[in-house]
């Protein structure tokens, strides 16, 4: 019997991007069996736009609109749970701002670097053109050192050193296109909704570490519809970055005393990289955001808090 595959898309207030992503999924050379859309209570025209485009009448598309915004983490929790309980063999996870090439899924499935073992297969993501390949997935992911970067080696570093194989073993992946076998979900569980945003995919990567292998498949291409943006100002998202990626990850996946010391060290380094200048009161507000994230991480406070 052929394996059944469902794509899981999490969306929030980006209907104009979502209606570009869905046709890319419907056009896959290896057809999907289901497309599960988790709408995080969007306040824009998402339902109307989907209806106008005829997507809601498509039997392959299941549209779930949540009552509240649970963030990306809550959306992927809901989508993976529904896909797993529906019995799909593979779940293809993604945000609403990516567009897979028409042969992306087929290339993921036909690349078998780990044989037939349960595994995670990730596409090679690009920015606006194929000449802007990201390849920033962690080859190593480590929260155990006091001062070291938690990503000491990325795919692009190994490529620069001459790695030109079909796929490469990685320890970390983002929820922008990983194809995950149901046996992994059975063992690892669902994505953790308590992160709200930022860190849920890193957490899932770490939960898989030492149990299941993840690969980046270079020939499976997926284009990001929005360029990655780095801000030098503190925003509300930085609260979640400090709380989740810096503090919670260190506490849960660090070792010894580094679990407690590392968050303070990393938060100080993060703060130094941001500019706290501007309007009166902006500096103190930014510092409160950063310190609040650190404190809440230490206290184990999670969920939506902005």
List the pLDDT tens digit at each of the 306 positions of the chain.
689 999 999 999 999 999 999 999 999 999 999 999 999 999 999 999 999 999 999 999 999 999 999 999 999 999 999 999 999 999 999 999 999 999 999 999 998 776 667 889 999 999 866 567 788 899 999 998 888 888 988 998 887 666 667 899 999 999 999 999 999 999 999 999 999 999 999 999 999 999 999 999 999 999 999 876 666 678 899 999 999 999 999 999 999 999 999 999 999 988 887 765 444 456 788 889 999 999 999 999 999 998
62 and 161 assigned to the same domain: yes
Residue 161 in domain: yes
100 and 195 assigned to the same domain: yes
Domain interval for residue 278: 236-299
Q: Give how far Cα 41 sits from Cα of 67, 110, 236, 303, Å.
A: 6, 36, 19, 16
Compute the chain's Rg from CA coordinates: 19
Residue 230 in domain: no
Q: Is the dihedral of CA 263, 264, 270, 275 positive or negative?
A: positive
123 and 187 assigned to the same domain: yes
Burial annotation 182-219 (CB, 10 A radius, 16+ → b, else e): bebbeeeebbbbbbbbbbbbbbbbbbbeeebbbbbbbb
What whole-number distance in Å separates Cα of residue 141 and Cα of residue 202?
Answer: 9
168 and 217 assigned to the same domain: yes
**Residue that terminates a domain, selected from 224, 257, 279:** 224
154 and 263 assigned to the same domain: no
Residue 22 in domain: yes
- H helix or E strand, kind and range, residue 73: helix 71-85
pTM over 0.85: yes
Q: Check if the beta carbon of residue 155 is closer than 8 Å to that of residue 135.
A: yes
Q: Minimal CA–CA distance to 253: which of 302, 217, 207, 197?
A: 207
Q: Please give the structure tokens belonging to residue 158.
A: 């190994």
Share of the chain residues as helix, strand and coil, in percent rounded to the nearest 5? 40, 20, 40
Residue 290 in domain: yes
Going by the DSSP 8-state scheme, the letter that residue 3 receives in this structure is P
**Residue that terminates a domain, selected from 224, 252, 280:** 224
């Amino acid at each position: 019997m052929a394996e059944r595959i469902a794509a899981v898309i999490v969306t929030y207030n980006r209907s104009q991007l979502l209606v570009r992503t869905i046709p890319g999924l419907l056009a896959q050379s290896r057809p999907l069996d289901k497309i599960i859309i988790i709408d995080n209570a969007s306040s824009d025209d998402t339902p109307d736009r989907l209806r106008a485009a005829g997507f809601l009448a498509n039997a392959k598309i299941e549209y779930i609109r949540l009552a509240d915004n649970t963030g990306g983490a809550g959306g992927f929790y809901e989508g993976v749970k529904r896909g797993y309980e529906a019995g799909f063999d593979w779940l293809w996870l993604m945000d609403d701002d990516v567009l897979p090439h028409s042969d992306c899924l087929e290339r993921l499935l036909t690349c078998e670097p780990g044989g037939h073992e349960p595994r995670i297969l990730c596409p090679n993501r690009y920015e606006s053109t194929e000449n802007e390949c990201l390849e920033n997935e962690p080859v190593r992911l480590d929260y155990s050192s006091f001062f070291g970067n938690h990503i000491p080696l990325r795919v692009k570093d190994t490529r620069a050193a001459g790695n030109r194989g079909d796929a490469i073993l990685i320890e970390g992946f983002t929820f922008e296109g990983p194809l995950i076998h149901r046996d992994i979900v059975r063992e690892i569980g669902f994505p953790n909704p308590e992160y709200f945003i930022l860190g849920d995919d890193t957490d899932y990567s770490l939960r898989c570490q030492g149990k299941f292998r993840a690969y980046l498949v270079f020939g499976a291409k997926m284009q990001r519809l929005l360029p990655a943006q780095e801000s030098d100002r503190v925003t509300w998202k930085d609260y979640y970055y400090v709380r989740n990626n810096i503090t919670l990850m260190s506490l849960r996946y660090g070792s010894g005393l580094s679990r407690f010391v590392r968050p303070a060290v990393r938060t100080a380094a993060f703060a130094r990289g941001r500019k706290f200048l501007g309007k009166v009161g902006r500096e103190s507000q930014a510092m409160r955001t950063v310190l609040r994230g650190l404190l809440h991480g230490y206290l184990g406070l999670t969920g939506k808090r902005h």
